[in-house]
Structure 1
């Protein structure tokens, strides 16, 4: 955020271009994300095709999935995050794109990870992307979603020194949005997480896992 424009909020691309590797430093390996990735690795077939939405620096998610032998593609709206991820995880593929304008063939992914990509997205866009994910998954494919649940819409928040506007759903409302796509919700759980950053407030992390019938 520009020091001469203190009230203007940063969009997702601008925010993560500015934060870069600082995001990895502050958030490291959130336990809920770690657990979701381990669970995926345990159930995926060999050489599974995994799509990582909002792939960030590539660590830990794409790195761990690729190390387990999966074929990983990460998508991120930040060119800087994609640059870092390509350097850190050369065994995965990373695409600079906004998932809302990105297309994939139906039934082309064994799993989709969505770890915090929706928090700066209007609710209608989140619902559209979730429906896309359901189409993209193969029968029996898995969704692992982690977010900060809250019934808020376009609320200004300080995030690592940048003003952003956050939109989310309550836990129950997001579970219903996932079910509305036709996916079977297999588990939910939540816990508090404290970022490794002075002054950062603990936040709730919600994990939703789902499976495409078939």
Structure 2
């Protein structure tokens, strides 16, 4: 099967920026109060439910944060270089290379999924496939926290990022209502939706969603 072109772009781009990304991206404890509170609420809700996959885990900082909160968390990322960095930084945790479009996880195996600033790289026409994978791998009652950049349907093509490295990935900034509707169509129930206005140097709105599989 031919790999979707956006996955190739994301893999190559994050392999390129990995070291500077790990250095520049904030630690979870340094995030804004709303982000920290929602991660804490998610951790509390999934702690008794089973293993939690941090999809698009990058260098593993948020995976480790969840683990410190008592969650049985493991990380998955499309970038082999990111996975190498995560394994080196947190050798006690499990990190694997994989894609959100075809997770190597059995049906109903997960108590929770965290997709933290990852799905905005996915073209909108493929989001139903990604959200269907979330639904498939979650156990009944399993929880999802999705967070990322949102907008009014903008399609951005940044040329450089994280230490001024060249990148070829794209950003698709969907309206929060559209994301919530796509989650609903995938069979997930959205419980909480928060839209944060840009502040503290941020340039774009951020959307955060808590949902569960009935």
- How large is the Cα RMSD of the aligned pairs? 2.2
Q: Give the C-alpha shift of residue 46 in structure 1.
A: 3.7
Q: Give the C-alpha shift of residue 66 in structure 1.
A: 1.4
Match of 1:3 in 2: none
Could you tell me the TM-score, scaled by structure 1's length? Answer: 0.83
Q: Give the C-alpha shift of residue 24 in structure 1.
A: 3.6
Equivalent position to 2:10, from 12, 23, 29:
12
Residues 35 and 101 of structure 1, relative CA distance in 2, 3 Å threshold: same
Distance 2:170 2:130 in 1: 19
Match of 2:77 in 1: 76
Match of 1:52 in 2: 54
Answer with 117-126 or 50-59: which moved more.
117-126
SS at match of 1:23: helix
Larger helix percent: 2
Q: Is the 8 A contact 1:33 1:115 kept in 2?
A: no
Distance 1:25 1:192 in 2: 25
Match of 2:143 in 1: 142
Q: Is the 8 A contact 1:134 1:182 kept in 2?
A: yes
Distance 1:152 1:169 in 2: 5
Distance 2:148 2:181 in 1: 14
- Aligned pair count reads 199
Q: Give the C-alpha shift of residue 193 in structure 1.
A: 5.0
Equivalent position to 2:176, from 171, 179, 183:
171
Distance 1:26 1:165 in 2: 20
Q: Is the 8 A contact 1:116 1:147 kept in 2?
A: yes
**Matches of residues 52-201 of structure 1 in structure 2 within 5 Å?**
52-59=54-61, 61-152=62-153, 154-158=155-159, 159-160=161-162, 161=164, 162-163=166-167, 164-192=169-197
Q: Is the 8 A contact 2:145 2:210 kept in 1?
A: yes
Q: Is the 8 A contact 1:82 1:96 kept in 2?
A: yes
Answer with 38-47 or 201-210: which moved more.
38-47
Answer with 149-158 or 137-146: which moved more.
149-158
Distance 1:35 1:19 in 2: 28
Unaligned runs of 5+ in 2: 1-7
